[in-house]
Amino acid sequence: MASESHHKENLHNLQLEDEGQHRNPSEVKMSQIVLPCHANHCGELSIGQLLKWMDCTACLSAERHAGCPCVTASVDDIYFEHTIGVGQVVNIKAKVNRAFNSSMEVGIEVSCEDLYSGRHWRVCQAFATFVAKRTDANKVQLRQVVPCTHQEQVEHSLAAERRRMRLIHHDIMQDLLNNKTFQRKNHDEDEALPTERTRVESVELVLPPHANHQVNTFGGQIMAWMENVATIAASRLCHDHPTLRAIDMFHFRGPSQVGDRLVLKAIVNNTFKNSMEVGVCAEAYHGDEPLRHINSAFMTFEVLDEKGRPCPLPPIKPEPQEGQRRYQEALARKKIRLDRKYIISCKQTEVPLSVPWDTSNQVYLSYNNVSALKMLAAKNNWDLCSKKNNVSLYTVEESQSLCFRVEFEMEIPAQRAFILLSDISRRHEWDQHYTLCKLLLRVDEDDFIYQVVTPSVSKGGQYQDFILLASRRPPCDSGDPYVIALRSVALPSHPPTEEFHRGEVVCAGFTIYEVSKSVSKISYYNQASPEVLPYISTDIAGLSSSFYSIFCACSLFIIYISYTMAIQSAFHRNNKKQYSLKVHK
Ligand code: COA
Ligand code: ADP
pLDDT digits (tens, 9 = 90+) for 512-570: 999 999 999 999 999 876 666 666 777 777 767 777 787 888 888 888 787 777 777 77
pLDDT at 325 over 60: yes
Query: For position 7, what pLDDT does the model report?
Result: 47
Name which of 269-273, 327-331, 426-430, 439-443 the model is least confident about: 426-430
pLDDT at 138: 85
pLDDT over 90 for what percent of the chain? Answer: 62
To the nearest whole number, what is the mean pLDDT of the chain?
88
Is 100 touching ligand 1 by the criterion CB < 6 Å? Answer: yes
Mean pLDDT value of segment 313-322 = 92
Q: Is the CB of 102 under 6 A from ligand 1?
A: yes
Q: What is the pLDDT of residue 413?
A: 93
Q: Is 88 in the pocket of ligand 1 (CB under 6 A)?
A: no
SS3 11: helix
Task: Read off the amino acid at residue 19.
Answer: E
In this structure, which ligand is nearest to the CA of 329?
A: 2
Q: What is the CA radius of gyration of the chain?
A: 27
User: Residues with beta carbon inside 6 Å of ligand 2?
Assistant: 199, 265-267, 269, 279-281, 296, 326
- How much is the average pLDDT of 176-196? 72
C-alpha of residue 234 to centroid of ligand 2, in Å: 14
- Bigger pLDDT: 9 or 87? 87
Residue 331: count of CB within 10 angstroms of its CB: 18
| 36 C-beta neighbours (distance < 10 Å), count | 9
Spell out the SS3 assignment of 489-541: EECCCCCCCCCCEECCCCEEEEEEEEEECCEEEEEEEEEECCCCHHHHHHHHC
Position 136 confidence tier, pLDDT thresholds 50, 70, 90: confident
* Mean of pLDDT values over 438-463: 86
Distance 69 CA to ligand 1 centre (A): 14
| Mean predicted confidence (pLDDT) in 247-260 | 95
Ligand 2 centroid, distance to 300 Cα (angstroms)? 15
Tell which one of 199, 202, 296 to mutate to probe ligand 2, the residue whose CB is within 8 A of the most ligand atoms.
296
Cα 131 to averaged position of ligand 1 atoms, centre (Å): 6
Apex 170 CA angle, 169 and 175, nearest 5: 100
CA 345 to CA 123: how far, in whole Å?
A: 14
Burial of 75 (0-12, 13-18, 19+ CB in 10 A): buried
Ligand 1 atom closest to residue 99's alpha carbon, by position in its atom list: 18
Instruction: Give me the pLDDT at residue 430, please.
Output: 82
Task: Kindly state the percentage of the chain with pLDDT values over 70.
Answer: 88
2 band by pLDDT with thresholds 50, 70 and 90: very low
The atom of ligand 2 lying closest to the CA of 329 is 4
Is residue 252 in contact with ligand 1, taking CB distance under 6 Å? yes
User: Of ligand 1's atoms, which has the minimum distance to the CA of residue 170?
Assistant: 7
How far is residue 465's CA from residue 457's CA, in Å, rounded to a whole number? 12
Q: Say how far apart CA 525 and CA 318 lie, in whole Å.
A: 51
Q: What is the per-residue pLDDT for 218?
A: 95
CA distance 488 to 356: 9
What is the tens place of the pLDDT at every residue in 354-408? 778 888 888 888 999 999 999 999 998 999 988 888 889 999 987 667 889 999 9
From the list 430, 425, 428, the residue with the least C-alpha distance to 450 is: 425
Q: Which of 170-184, 196-210, 422-436 has the highest mean pLDDT?
A: 196-210
Domains of the chain, with CATH numbers? 24-149+185-352 (3.10.129.10), 363-568 (3.30.530.20)
Q: How far is CA 460 from CA 436, 456, 463, 498, in A?
A: 18, 7, 9, 16
Average pLDDT over residues 444-452: 94
Q: Which residue's CA is the closest to the ligand 2 atom numbered 3?
A: 326
pLDDT at residue 563, rounded to an integer:
74
Q: With 70 as the cut, is the pLDDT of residue 206 above it? A: yes
Identify the nearest ligand to the CA of 232 by its number. 2
Distance CA 142, CA 70 (A): 11
Q: Which of 77, 101, 103 to mutate to test the pocket of ligand 1 (most atoms within 8 A of CB)?
A: 103
In this prediction, residue 182 carries a pLDDT of 57
How much is the pLDDT for 1? 37
Contacts 24+ apart (CB under 8 A), 555-560: 555/408, 555/410, 556/430, 557/420, 557/426, 557/429, 557/430, 558/410, 558/412, 558/416, 558/417, 558/420, 558/421, 559/410, 559/411, 559/412
Give the mean model confidence (pLDDT) for residues 65-86: 95
The number of the ligand nearest the C-alpha atom of 103 reads 1
> Phi/psi class of residue 333: alpha, beta or left (left: φ > 0; alpha: ψ in -120 to 50)?
alpha
Mean pLDDT of 101-130: 97
Question: For atom 21 of ligand 2, which residue has the closest CA?
Answer: 265
Q: Which residues is 490 bridged to in the sheet?
A: 356
pTM over 0.75: yes
- Ligand 1 neighbourhood includes 256 CB (under 6 angstroms): yes
> What is the distance in angstroms between the CA of the first residue and the CA of the last residue of the chain?
56
C-alpha to C-alpha distances, 320 to 186, 317, 356, 571, nearest whole angstrom: 12, 9, 34, 65
pLDDT at 360 (0 to 100): 82
Partners of 487 in the beta sheet?
469
In whole angstroms, give the CA distance from residue 325 to residue 414: 48
Ligand number, closest to the Cα atom of 163: 1
Q: What is the mean pLDDT of residues 335-345?
A: 77
Helix axes 362-377, 322-344, angle to 10 degrees: 20
pLDDT band at 10 (very low <50, low <70, confident <90, very high): low
The atom number, within ligand 2, closest to the CA of 269 reads: 16
Give the atom of ligand 1 at the shortest distance from the alpha carbon of 169. 7
Cα 119 to ligand 1 centre (Å): 39
Q: Is the CB of 129 under 6 A from ligand 1?
A: yes
Q: What per-residue confidence (pLDDT) applies to 282?
A: 98
E-strand ranges in 379-428 read 383-388, 391-397, 402-411
Q: What is the pLDDT of residue 20?
A: 63
Output the pLDDT for position 337.
86
Atom 20, ligand 1: residue with shortest CA distance: 103
Instruction: Report the nearest atom of ligand 1 relative to the CA of 163.
Output: 2
CB distance 552 to 391 below 8 Å: yes
pLDDT greater than 80 at residue 348: no
What count of other Cβ atoms lies within 10 Å of the Cβ of residue 540? 19
In which element (H, E) is residue 360 found?
Answer: none
Collapsed DSSP state (helix, strand, coil) of residue 26: coil
Please state the rounded mean pLDDT for residues 24-51: 96
Sign of CA dihedral 317, 321, 323, 324: positive
Highest mean pLDDT among 181-195, 283-297, 524-538: 283-297
Nearest by Cα to 464 from 452, 482, 446, 449? 452
pLDDT tier for residue 3 given thresholds of 50, 70 and 90: very low
Task: Tell me which of 82-91, 175-184, 353-362, 504-513 is least confident.
Answer: 175-184
Q: What is the mean pLDDT of residues 296-301?
A: 98
- 3-state SS string over 145-205? CCCCCHHHHHHHHHHHHHHHHHHHHHHHHHHHHCCHHHCCCCCCCCCCEEHHHHCEEEEEE
CA 376 to chain centre: 16
Among all bound ligands, the one having the nearest atom to the CA of 199 is 2
Task: Compute the distance from residue 479 Cα to the ligand 2 centre, in Å.
Answer: 43
Separation of CA 193 and ligand 2 centre (Å):
18
User: What is the best residue among 264, 326, 327, 333 to mutate for testing ligand 2's pocket, by most ligand atoms within 8 Å of CB?
Assistant: 326
Q: How far is the centre of ligand 2, averaged over its atoms, from the C-alpha of 50 (Å)?
A: 24
**8-state DSSP, 423:** -
- Ligand 1 within 6 A of CB of 72: yes
CA dihedral 145, 407, 422, 475 (to 10 degrees): 10
Residue 237 to residues 44, 226, 265, 277, 330: CA-CA distances in angstroms? 20, 17, 15, 11, 16
